[in-house]
Structure 1
Amino acid sequence: MRYLIALLMLPTSLWASDFAMLEGDMPLTYDEVVTMTARPVVEFYEGGQSRYSAGGAYSYSYEGGGTAFGTYSVAADGTICILYRNGRDRCDRFVRSHGRLVMLTQDGQRFAIRP
């Protein structure tokens, strides 16, 4: 059983190394990510909004309308992974960068979060 758990955690560990960090980026810890996701809404400067529920439900509302739904989990290293209802998935990493909170995507995008 413990080997199964280790194998399931392996991809998360590999994904975490894929994020393009810049000088000055400080990754949030697991506890910091859990605290951040306890906010009622995480709002991005481009207008989108993420909502994380205590039970693991997730939704992202686009600025122009429309919402994507799914579930999320936070890995021990602070990486947050989302599985959308449409079958797509992705993992993100949150960092503090020069006084701002920023979400990094695995494909190299950066999205600043409103305070």
Structure 2
Amino acid sequence: MRKLTFAVILCSLPAIAGARDWNTRTGDQPLTASELHDQLVGNTLIFFDNGRSVYAASGEYSYTYGEGGTWLGHYELKEDGVACTTFVTGSIRCDLIVQNGTRLTLITEDGLRFPIRDVIPIK
């Protein structure tokens, strides 16, 4: 019986590990793959704390805090509004981008929400 229980738990681990609580709210609509591309690639997302996420057409990514300091990496766009970034440190973070009315919001895997103030083309 123990072996069977362990086998069931082991088989369910990928499903559990893949599940994400994105902390979505009523009205949040994940962007389609096309919308995600249009909103991110070649653009800078500006947050209300003046932080800036830059998604270069080359796949390079940078995030600069409002007070300074920058993280560098490369991003990959996934289906259902998810963008994953591999930072130069080797850490990986995936974010869900949702539209709610006229507002875009970035939601981290651990449920933190960051409303986007503006989207501007990279100069």
Q: What is the number of equivalent residue pairs in this alignment?
A: 104
Per-residue CA distance 1:91-111 (angstroms, 9 max, x = gap):
000111243110011111110
Give the fraction of aligned pairs with identical amino acids, expressed as a percent.
38
Pick aligned residue for 2:108 from 81, 102, 105: 105
Q: With structure 1 as the length reference, what TM-score do the two structures score?
A: 0.81
> If you compute each CA radius of gyration, which structure gives the higher value, 1 or 2?
2
For structure 2, the 5+ residue unaligned runs are 1-13, 119-123
C-alpha RMSD of matched pairs (Å): 1.9
For structure 1, the 5+ residue unaligned runs are 1-9
Letter of the 1:62 counterpart: Y
Segments of 4+ in structure 1 off by > 3 A? none
Shift of 1:56: 0.8
Query: 1: distance between equivalents of 2:113 and 2:30?
Result: 13
User: Does the CA-based 8 Å contact 1:38-1:52 persist in structure 2?
Assistant: yes
Pick aligned residue for 1:33 from 36, 40, 58: 36
Query: 2: distance between equivalents of 1:96 and 1:78?
Result: 10
Letter of the 1:76 counterpart: E
Q: With structure 2 as the length reference, what TM-score do the two structures score?
A: 0.76
